[in-house]
Each structure stands twice: as structure tokens, then as C-alpha cells.
A and B are shown apart, each in its own frame.
Chain A
Amino acid sequence: MSEIIEGFIQAVELIISLNPEVLEITARSLLISLAATLCASLISIPIGGFIHFRKFGGKRGLITIIQTLYALPTVIAGLFVFLLLSRVGPFGFLGLLFTPSGMIVGQTVLIIPLMVGMTLIALSGVKQSIQDEVVSLGATTTQTVMTIIREARFAILGGVILGFGRAISEVGAAMIIGGNIRGYTRVLTTAIALETSMGNIAFSIALGIILLGIAMVVTVALFLVQER
């Protein structure tokens, strides 16, 4: 127990003293996970919309596959992207393995299923009466789609936050693809894993508290957006 208290004190100290290494790791975590969330949003939200608004064979099966992939283990996503990006792999020529860009790819792949799923749920949550009303007012298909998306925007945003949460908290893909290189690909989660393996428990807890702090800031930001 004393380690948790010690970790908390150390977290406060690290934040107050603006420890450059901790700041750097924190900034890198945020940057990589925000970039991955942005990429995943740009891919997932249109796909979610497409699946929701179009009728095609195999739709339910596809949705089941997407929902199964919510449980995609981070190490498997990491391994999959590792094999793609490795120099002998199909995208090896890009030289992305063990780089921050590679980590963004990994986290993007990891959270896409979750964000597509959340988009589908958000769109399904819009009341049928709203749709009927818009149609009866003479809206075109495009206008109807836009109205539904606008109605669902907070729920979609909730999915985006959830995706960000999964991206910033995962360690498996970040470790396999990034390699935990100091000053280059070390993020909060991989630093925690390293410090724990070195027996630096209090420091690990301090980093964990900082990670939770970021999650709180992001959640509060979402709350404020929703309130408006």
C-alpha cells in the first residue's frame, strides 16, 4: 500500500517539477493516440454511416464480425501490424516499424472496429420519428442522412472518446510496433511496463496517475462539449 501513496506523491512531484522526460513521454502518448483516433475517426465514421444507411447482403454478419473485433487483443493487432511493417513484410519499404508513425497505424487498426461499432449504435439510436418527420417535410436522401448524423453527433463523439481511451491505454501494440525506444517511441504505457520490470514501482504508479489524469481531462472536455 505504501507504494501507492509513494507513487501518488511522486506523481505530484513529477508534475509540479515539470520533469522533462515525463512531459515528453506524456506529450508523445497524447500525440500518437490523438493522431490514431483522428485517423480511425476518418475511416470508421464513414464506414459506420455506409453500413447503417445502405442495405446489402451479409450486413448482419459484417456487424457481428465488427463487434467480435471489439475484443481484438492489442498484442494481436500489434503483431499483425508488425508483420506488415517489418522490412521483409509487404509495407517494409516504408520503414515505419519502430517509429511513432508505425504506432499510430497500430492503434488505428486496433480501435477501428470499436469506433465503427459505436457509430452504428449512435446512428441506430436516432428516433425513427425524427427520420419520418424530416422525410415528410420533403427532405432529400442526403438531407435526411445529414439530419440523422447531426442528431447522433454526441453519441458518435462518445465513441471517438472511447476509441481514444483504448488507444492511449493499450500497451501491447505500442510495445511490439514501437519498441519502447527512449526519446522516440516510449509512451506512458510502455514506460510503465519498463519501470515495473525494473522494480521502480512508485514511478510506475506516478506515470499511471498521469495517464488517468489525461483520461479525465479528455472526458471533461467531452462533457463540456455535450453540455453546450
Chain B
Amino acid sequence: MRLKLPVRPMTLKPRKVCVSITLSALIVVGALFCGCTTTAPSQGTPAPTQSIGKSKVLLATTTSLYDTGLLDYLEPMFEEKHHVDLLITSQGTGKAIEIAKRGDCDILAVHSPSQEEGFMAGGHGINRRCFAYNYFIIVGPADDPASIKDMKPEDAFTKLMTMGKAGTPGIAFVSRGDNSGTHYAEKSIWNSAGYNYTRDVQKSGNWYIEAGRGMGETLQLASEKQAYTLIDEGTYLAYKGNLGLFPIIEQGDILLNVYSVITVYTPTQPSDRITIANNFVNFLTSPEVQASIGEFGKEKYGKNLFIPMTGECSRFKCDCGKAADAQVPALLT
């Protein structure tokens, strides 16, 4: 008889690990097979060269463009004009760029000039165009315990650091801490104020809180802790929850927040997808869409959440008017 007594499951004797490795390989292959077959009739998997139905194109973007509703507002216009299905995944800028580098999306819309330059220099993108801007603001408790109202951002950060390190009660700053565009902007303010971010800021004490979360969660955290934080104005205005935070500093050159769109390039990317992505870049910089961006949010929030780039790109030293027609990165031609 081959049947055995029931196994007692809590014994530790890993004798043949290879069995489990083989098994897990089997599981993964099986799972992949399942994934391929079961949804075939339901959703329609997007093969890149799908001829039935509209072709799908994936845009990886930053949370601020998505959570404000701007992209949901522009999506139907683009889909109607070009007869494609625009899929949007909203991640922090850092993660969106990582996804783009791996070739897992077709278009990138982000707001972190230094990271974008690195991305372009690596030959991962073509046709980088700025299309909108607004300003970061520093928000904090209504009574402004650090008395930094309307100070120059760098000076305000220096004051927060001094008071925070001294353990002044009620002084706290919440950082995104997630390599997002907003986090990079915060780092550049620290640098500009003369601090080395990893050495002087990150380990400077309990007053400096690294959230490691998206903008909305970071805002909630700052509100609960009655702390200061840096946020793009659009997300702050569009946030629907109850907040105990108010704009403290809204002026300063360093608070400029420029959004760019880039066609993702990988050597294996089919040229028709690059064309669709280029269409999207041209769409965002076209006069009609620029006007729509300038209108977005006016009715609901009393002011537009984004300022279109039209005519101002030379001021910000970026491209916005040129037609996006390149098919390969300039450094490869």
C-alpha cells in the first residue's frame, strides 16, 4: 500500500531544495500559461500590432497630472482625434521613468528636469517637449509656527532646519521621500539652501519625516501631524479631503514646476507606436490643447491648475513649439 499517514506540516527538514525550485519554476510557467489563455475572450490583450479594434498606447505619468483630472479631461479629445486607445498609468515620476527605461510604456509625461535629462542622455527618449507649468507651494499649519510666511523658499528651509534640529515643538516637515518629481524639487531647494541632502537633511532628526508615499498620502500625513510640506499647486487645489493646511509660501523662482512629455524609445519599439506617441506629443503642444489646458479647473477651483507653455518656452529653456517628428534619438543619428 502506497498511501501514507497524514503529513504533520510543521517540521523543519529542508532536504531537497531542488524539488521546490523545480516546482516553483513549474508554477510560474503554468501561471503564465493560464494568464495567456483565460482572458483571451474577455478583455482582449493588447498585442502591439493588433489590427482588430483601436491600437493601444500606454502613457506613464506623474500623479499630479493624473490626480488633478487633467489627463482624464484630455484623453477623450486625443482618442477621438487619432482613433487610438490611450491607456494611462499614474506613478511617481521616478517610477514612471523606470517603467519607460524598461520599454514598458510608450509615452512619458513627468515633471523632473534633472531626471528627464538623464533619461534623454541615456537614449531612452525622443521629442521631449514642455507643455505646461505651475508652481510648487509650501503648505503648513494655519498659525505658521515657524513664521516663514512669504519668505524666500531657501531661507524658509534654512529656518525650518535650524528650528527642527533645535527640537522646537510644533516644527515638522513631511517629505515625499520617494524620488518623485516633487521630491527632486524639494532636494533642489535644500541644495540651493546650501545643504547636502543625504548628509545634512535626511538624518537631521525626528522633525524631518520621510513619507515614502504619493502626494495625496503625504498631504494627509502632513495635515495629521500639522507639519509643513512641499506640494504642486494643482494637486493641492484638487484635493477633495478635509485639510488643516494652508499655503504659506507661494513665490520663488525655485518653485517653478515644469511638465514635459517624451516619446519613449527602445530599439525594438515598432515605428507605428512611436508615431502614435509623437502624435500625443504634438497633440499636447498644439494651440487648441494648450488653450484647453489653460481652461482646466477654472470653473471648479476658481483658477486654472496648469499654465500652458505656449509662447513661454524660451523663458524656461525648453522646447515646446517644434513638431515632434524624430523617430530615433538624436544621439543615434
Give A residues with C-beta under 8 Å from B.
28, 31-32, 35, 38-40, 42-43, 47, 51-53, 55-65, 67, 84, 86-88, 91-92, 94-102, 104-105, 108-109, 112, 117, 120-121, 123-126, 128, 131, 135, 141, 144-145, 179-182, 184, 194, 196-201
A151 to nearest B CB, angstroms?
12
Q: Tell me which residues across on chain B come within 8 A of A64, comparing CB atoms.
A: 9-12, 14
Alpha-carbon distance A53/B3, docked complex (angstroms): 6
Indicate whether A112 sits within 8 Å of B35 (C-beta atoms), given known contacts A55-B4, A97-B104: no
Q: Report which of B14, B42, B88, B105 forms a contact with A31, defined as CB distance below 8 A.
A: B42
A150 to B199: give the CA distance in the assembly, Å.
64
Q: Are A87 and B103 in contact (CB-based, < 8 A)? A: yes
Specify the chain B residue showing the minimal Cβ separation from A199.
Answer: B241
Docked-complex contact B3 and A200, CB < 8 angstroms: no
Separation of A3 and B27 alpha carbons in the complex (Å): 43
- Whether A98 contacts B104 by the Cβ 8 Å rule is yes
B216/A199 in contact, CB under 8 A: yes
Cβ contacts under 8 Å, B330 to chain A: none
B235 to A: closest C-beta gap in Å: 9
Name B46's contact: one of A47, A99, A124 (CB within 8 Å). A99
Least Cβ–Cβ distance between A172 and chain B, in angstroms? 14
Bound Cα distance A43, B215 (Å):
40
Known contacts A61-B15, A88-B103, A120-B9; A112 and B87 CB within 8 A of each other: no
Instruction: Identify the closest chain B residue to A117 (Cβ).
Output: B9
Is the CB–CB distance between B90 and A124 below 8 Å? no
Interface of A is mostly: helix
Q: A100-B39, A100-B42 are in contact. List 14 more A-B contacts (CB 8 A).
A: A39-B30, A52-B7, A57-B16, A62-B19, A62-B20, A84-B28, A101-B36, A105-B35, A123-B6, A128-B5, A135-B1, A141-B2, A197-B216, A199-B240
Q: Are A101 and B88 in contact (CB under 8 A)?
A: no
How many inter-chain residue pairs (CB < 8 Å) link A and B? 195
Give which listed residue, B17, B47, B102, B239, contacts A198 with CB less than 8 A.
B239
List A contacts of B88 (CB < 8 A). Answer: 181-182
Hey, which chain B residues are within 8 Å of A199, CB to CB? Answer: 216, 219-220, 239-243
A43, B38: Cβ atoms closer than 8 Å: no
Residue of A nearest to B42 (CB): A31
| Complex: chain B residue closest to A43, CB-CB | B30
Does B192 reach chain A (CB closer than 8 Å)? no
A-B contact pairs, 21 of them (CB 8 A): A35-B39, A38-B34, A43-B34, A60-B11, A61-B13, A61-B14, A61-B15, A94-B36, A96-B35, A96-B45, A98-B58, A98-B89, A100-B43, A101-B43, A123-B6, A135-B3, A182-B72, A194-B67, A197-B217, A199-B219, A199-B240
- Tell me, in angstroms, the Cα distance from A179 to B66 when the chains sit together: 13
Q: How many residues of B contact A (CB 8 A)?
A: 64
Other-chain contact of A58, B14, B38, B39, B215 (Cβ < 8 Å): B14
Q: Which residue of A lies closest to B268 (CB)?
A: A87
Q: A52-B7, A99-B45, A123-B6 are in contact. Are A105 and B32 (CB under 8 A)?
A: yes
Closest to B31 in A: A108
**Residues of A with C-beta under 8 A to B30:** 39, 42-43
Q: Are A109 and B28 in contact (CB under 8 A)?
A: yes
Closest 10 pairs (CB-CB, A-B)? A199-B241, A61-B14, A58-B16, A197-B216, A179-B89, A39-B34, A124-B6, A105-B35, A58-B15, A199-B240
Q: What's the Cα separation between A56 and B18 when bound, in Å?
A: 12
Chain B residues closer than 8 Å to A40, beta-carbon distance: 31
- Shortest CB-to-CB span from B317 to chain A, Å, is 32
Bound CA–CA A228/B60 (angstroms): 50
B217 to chain A, nearest CB (A): 6
User: In the complex, are the beta carbons of B103 and A124 less than 8 A apart?
Assistant: no
